[in-house]
Amino acid sequence: MNFTDTSNRIFNESIREYHKTDCVDTPIHNPYPLKSIEYYLYLKNWIDTVQWHFEDIIRDPNIDPAEALVLKRRIDKSNQDRTDLVELIDSYFLDKYKEVRIQPGATINTESPAWAIDRLSILALKIYHMQQEVNRTDTTPEHHAQCETKLNILLEQQKDLSSAIEQLLEDIAAGRKYMKVYKQMKMYNDPALNPVLYGKK
């Protein structure tokens, strides 16, 4: 099984497990060995899945403003956790390919492997929820047809992205491409870099 097959299987496993309760406060029970790449993939998708539902909840037009602020803080933390985990997954690839001899003329990719896998995780969520829409029996035929068309596009996108990631990993392993990871350097969460935060001191 190649890396993206493994990733998609683990993402789907995480999504199914979350939806047994469909509650953002459900504790994660990661079934994989601590600090293994499988562990990080499962954790990555669990964070994405919980955040997906955070984003649904905060769009409730009747949400209490105080609750919305608390939820916004949770979304901010989730975003930071997501970014940190993507960078951790990239560290796995950097270590895995550290002995590869870079070929003359090798090029850098527009995004690192882990950021592409981040998109693959989100795609798994889109597919799951679009399938839920297709399965609904309380909608119009037009709604059903539109959702079915969107689902087919998402499935094609998943296939194409998986193939592109596999090609990227093959190119890195062969030295045709090389990794160069830039930390996200998010400023709004840093008390030393966000003027609103450091201005209050």
Q: How far apart are CA 168 and CA 171, in angstroms?
A: 5
Residue 107: beta bridge partners? Answer: 177
Q: Give 43 or 188, the one with higher predicted confidence.
A: 43
Domain segments of the chain as ranges:
3-191
Written as one string, the DSSP assignment of 33-54 is PTTSHHHHHHHHHHHHHHHHHH
Q: pLDDT tens across 142-196, in order?
A: 999 999 999 999 999 999 999 999 999 999 999 999 998 777 666 666 677 677 6
Q: pLDDT tens across 69-126, in order?
A: 999 999 999 999 999 999 999 999 999 999 999 999 999 998 999 999 999 999 999 9
pTM: 0.90
Task: Collapse the DSSP code of 101 into the 3-class scheme (helix H, G, I; strand E, B; otherwise coil) and give the result.
Answer: coil
Q: How far apart are CA 172 and CA 166, in angstroms?
A: 10
Q: pLDDT tens across 121-149, in order?
A: 999 999 999 999 999 999 999 999 999 99
Six-digit token pair at 188? 């709004």
For 102: left if phi > 0, alpha if psi spans -120 to 50, otherwise beta; the answer is beta
